[in-house]
Homo-oligomer: A and B are copies of this chain.
Amino acid sequence: MAFSPLVDELVESLRCLPGVGQKTAQRMAFHLLERGRSGGVRLAGALGNAMDGVRRCESCQNFSDTETCGICENPGRNNGTLCVVESPSDLLAIEQSGDYRGGYFVLMGHLSPIDGVGPEEIGVERLINRVVHQGVSEVILATNPTVEGEATAHYIADRLDGKDVLITRLAHGIPVGGELGYVDGFTLTHAFRGRKPLSE
């Protein structure tokens, strides 16, 4: 290699980032060394702190600096409703829509027996415990509308059966602002089945 050990190690380390190959890692390393040293120092610190300090919330499994995360501890939120999502980015998308004010449960994945991810790995027991012992009245299953997401939702619904809790699923339909011509057939079928009277 033409470069110094420090640069080589930096390029190699950058490849742990998702979607970053050899060329991109090189470009990133050179950019930081040429024009972004202060950003690089800040990133090094933030990475060290986060890798060391971020854990999972005891209550909802989301990333948190403390034992219980800010959402679970917020007294202004209605913890009688629980929204089950697959990942922190799903939670973020819902939070940014700004309408939902209940609690969350983050599975950090979906059921995938082929990858060795079973109910234990995604914390289904913890979810059921929370539902039973904390007086949850509604569980909104907001897993992704993929095969794995649907399977996970159905599994959780089965496990919650008979637990005196309302189980709901996010509505499928045409995205707001979308054009009918570009919507796939499955979504259109769902939209037809879920049609509502205009007066509602």
Contact A34 B108 (CB under 8 A): yes
Instruction: Knowing A18-B31, A32-B16, A32-B47, say if A7 contacts B63 (CB, 8 Å).
Output: yes
Interface residues on A, range: 35 or more
Query: With A37-B51, A50-B9 in contact, do A92 and B43 touch (Cβ < 8 Å)?
Result: no
Q: Does A188 contact B (CB under 8 A)?
A: no
Is the pair B4, A16 in contact by a Cβ cutoff of 8 Å? Answer: no
Given known contacts A16-B42, A40-B51, A30 and B87 CB-to-CB distance under 8 angstroms: yes
Chain B nearest CB, measured from A43 CB (Å): 4
Instruction: With both chains docked as a complex, state the minimum distance between the C-beta of A78 and any C-beta of chain B, in angstroms.
Output: 16
For residue A86, give the distance in angstroms from its CB to the closest CB of chain B.
Answer: 11
Instruction: In the complex, identify which listed stretch (A65-73, A141-149, A160-168, A177-185) lies at the interface while the others stay far away.
Output: A65-73
Min CB gap A116→B, angstroms: 13
Q: Determine the chain B residues whose CB is within 8 A of the CB of A87 once the complex forms.
A: 30
Decide if B44 touches A6 in the complex (CB within 8 Å). Answer: no
22 contacts between A and B (CB under 8 A): A2-B91, A4-B66, A5-B65, A6-B53, A7-B54, A9-B46, A9-B50, A10-B49, A13-B42, A16-B32, A16-B36, A17-B32, A18-B27, A27-B89, A30-B87, A32-B47, A33-B51, A40-B51, A43-B47, A44-B44, A44-B45, A44-B48
Across the A-B interface, the 8 shortest Cβ-Cβ residue pairs: A16-B39, A44-B47, A13-B46, A4-B65, A44-B48, A13-B43, A2-B95, A10-B50
Binding site for B on A (CB under 8 A): 2-7, 9-10, 12-14, 16-19, 24, 26-34, 36-37, 39-54, 62-66, 69-71, 87-89, 91-92, 95, 108
